[in-house]
């Protein structure tokens, strides 16, 4: 089946640093989504991207839909402790979402 390659798998950073993660696919998607999951909870939608080349921000978060429609990246600026969690990319395929493996973000105060 379709697979998304998300990297890095984990990140250990200092508070205040910027973060960048990305997702690539062998298939084209018409929608890219970024979710965040806190421990013991379900994923929560952060950003949705609907057009190739689109750059969208949500506070300190910025995500882009790659021009080839096969990739997307998420940036977090000036990280804070509550940014800790697992970030998932997802591509919207026919009838279903395909998820990346996740990026686990740890922040040292």
Partner 1 sequence: NAGVTQTPKFQVLKTGQSMTLQCAQDMNHEYMSWYRQDPGMGLRLIHYSVGAGITDQGEVPNGYNVSRSTTEDFPLRLLSAAPSQTSVYFCASSYTNNQPQHFGDGTRLSIL
Q: What does the binding site for partner 1 look like in residue numbers (CB under 8 A)?
A: 1, 4, 6, 9, 30-31, 33, 35, 40-45, 48, 88, 92, 95-102
CB 41, min distance to partner 1, A: 5
Helix (H, G, I), strand (E, B), or coil: what is residue 7? strand
User: Given the complex with partner 1, which of 1 and 109 has the nearer CB atom?
Assistant: 1
Helix, strand, coil shares of the chain, percent, nearest 5, are 5, 55, 40
CB 50, min distance to partner 1, A: 9
Query: Cis omega (within 30 of 0) on the bond before 8?
Result: yes
User: Given the complex with partner 1, which of 73 and 88 has the nearer CB atom?
Assistant: 88
What is the Cα 49 distance to its own chain's centre?
11
Distance CA 19, CA 17 (A): 7
User: Given the complex with partner 1, which of 59 and 109 has the nearer CB atom?
Assistant: 59
Number of C-beta neighbours around residue 87 at 10 A: 24
CB 52, min distance to partner 1, A: 16
CB 14, min distance to partner 1, A: 25
């Amino acid at each position: 089946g379709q697979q998304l390659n998300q990297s890095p798998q984990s990140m250990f950073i200092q508070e205040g640093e910027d973060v960048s993660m990305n997702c690539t696919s062998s298939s084209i998607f018409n929608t890219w989504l970024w979710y965040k999951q806190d421990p013991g909870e379900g994923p929560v939608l952060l950003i949705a991207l609907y057009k190739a080349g689109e750059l969208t921000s949500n506070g300190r978060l910025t995500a882009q839909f790659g021009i080839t429609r096969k990739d997307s990246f998420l940036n977090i600026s000036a990280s804070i402790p509550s940014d800790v969690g697992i970030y998932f990319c997802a591509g919207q395929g026919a009838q279903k979402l395909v998820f990346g493996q996740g990026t686990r973000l740890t922040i040292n105060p």
